[in-house]
Amino acid sequence: GFGKIETATDDIRTAIEDADVIMVVVPATGHRFIAERCAPFVTSDQVVVLNPGRTFGALEFMHVLRQQRVRGRPTIAETQTFIYVSRHTDFTRARIMQIKNSVPLAAIPAHRTPGVLDMVRTALPQFVAATNVLETSLDNIGAIFHPTLTILNAARIESTHGDFEYYLEGVSPAASKVMESADSERIALGTALGVHLHTAREWLYLAYASAGSTLYDAIQATPGYKGVRAPSTVAHRYIFEDVPMSLVPMVSVGRQLGVKTPTLTSLVNLASVMHEKDFFSEGRTVDKIGLGGKSVRDIRMIAVRGGLS
């Protein structure tokens, strides 16, 4: 459909003044920047929705506001994934291929999730309630699929410029074992933090009704993956966004809680080497979102209630 845009501006104050809901639709690497710019102007009766938050986006946004010691205490929410399957086609256009049927959303504090949903569902009825932002943050299947596939097909991406079937050829039995191992580490983090997550295989079944006794079989049985080509370069958001903003926070919280993440750590290491970056230091670590040194109980208090009692 079509809608009239009331205001287009690069002035953050104008953009957010008098808005009921501020929806932030940027790569997760931009969340901190947006939070810093919004901080002086946001009010306590506003709602900020990160669409999506990747891993711990809402927690980082809240932490930045509090660090700036501003008076506004908006409700911060995040979605588990982006609501659109879309690509930008040139600098001024985007193409929406699909609107997802159902996208979980959670607010901090979690008891405000229903209120946020009431506001945003007038425009976007696809949003549904998640338990809390730990669930939306960790039920991040893209974080498991994207970097693993890009790293394990790096040479093929570079020597063919992405001219192969990303899922149907890029996911082989060996590659899918790495994805399953990374996924099981993600599930273990959820267990440690008291949230029930979906495995990648369950998610494929829920999203695409594709079943299989292994992740490899389930991916090969997903017709929607047919025709999806690989990215043409390894300098892609599948690395630059998913590694620092999803894998790094997972590894970081795992280290703190004593949950072993050798596969996720190995993927971060190899991505760092391939891109000559230290994603561990660039990425979203527990220290950068105010969770450094906190216990499971305290992390849950912050994520679910918005702070320590």
Per CB under 8 A, which of residues 237..296 are in contact with its own copies?
Answer: 262-263, 265-267, 269-270, 273-276
Number of residues in contact with its own copies under rule CB under 8 A: 33
Task: Give me the catalytic one of 31, 63, 139, 242.
Answer: 242
Listing from the earlier edge strand, what are the strands of the sheet with 75-79? 21-24, 47-50, 75-79, 103-108, 127-129
Nearer to its own copies, 125 or 173 (CB): 173
Provide the minimum distance between the beta carbon of 217 and its own copies in the complex, in angstroms, as a whole number: 14
DSSP string, 23-92: EE-S-GGGHHHHHHHHTTT--TT-EEEESS--SSHHHHHHHHHHHTT-S--PEEEEESS-SEEEEEEETT
Provide the minimum distance between the beta carbon of 235 and its own copies in the complex, in angstroms, as a whole number: 9
With CA atoms as reference, report the closest residue to 42 among 6, 59, 17: 17
Residue 9 in tokens: 């501006």
List own/partner pairs for 22-26 with CB under 8 A and 24 or more apart: 22/46, 22/47, 22/48, 22/49, 22/74, 23/48, 23/49, 23/51, 23/120, 24/48, 24/49, 24/50, 24/51, 24/61, 25/51, 25/82
With CA atoms as reference, report the closest residue to 147 among 133, 166, 168: 166
Nearer to its own copies, 126 or 184 (CB): 184
Q: Is the peptide bond before 109 cis (omega within 30 degrees of 0)?
A: yes
Nearer to its own copies, 53 or 170 (CB): 170
Among 11, 163, 169, 287, binds its own copies (CB under 8 A): 169
Provide the minimum distance between the beta carbon of 139 and its own copies in the complex, in angstroms, as a whole number: 22
Task: Give me the catalytic one of 31, 139, 146, 183.
Answer: 146
Nearer to its own copies, 153 or 256 (CB): 153
Per CB under 8 A, which of residues 12..51 are in contact with its own copies?
Answer: none
Residue 18 in tokens: 């008098």
Angle between the N-to-C axes of helices 31-38 and 57-67, in degrees from 0 to 180, rounded to the nearest 10: 40
Map residues 137-156 to x or -, x wherever contact with its own copies holds by CB under 8 A. Answer: ------------x-xxxxxx
Among 39, 59, 141, 175, binds its own copies (CB under 8 A): 175
Could you say whether residue 199 binds its own copies (CB under 8 A)? Answer: no
Nearer to its own copies, 138 or 267 (CB): 267
To the query of whether residue 111 is one of the catalytic residues in this protein, the response is: no
To the query of whether residue 146 is one of the catalytic residues in this protein, the response is: yes
Nearer to its own copies, 189 or 268 (CB): 268
Enumerate binding residues for its own copies (CB under 8 A): 149, 151-159, 164, 169-175, 177-178, 181, 234, 262-263, 265-267, 269-270, 273-276
What residues act catalytically? Answer: 146, 242
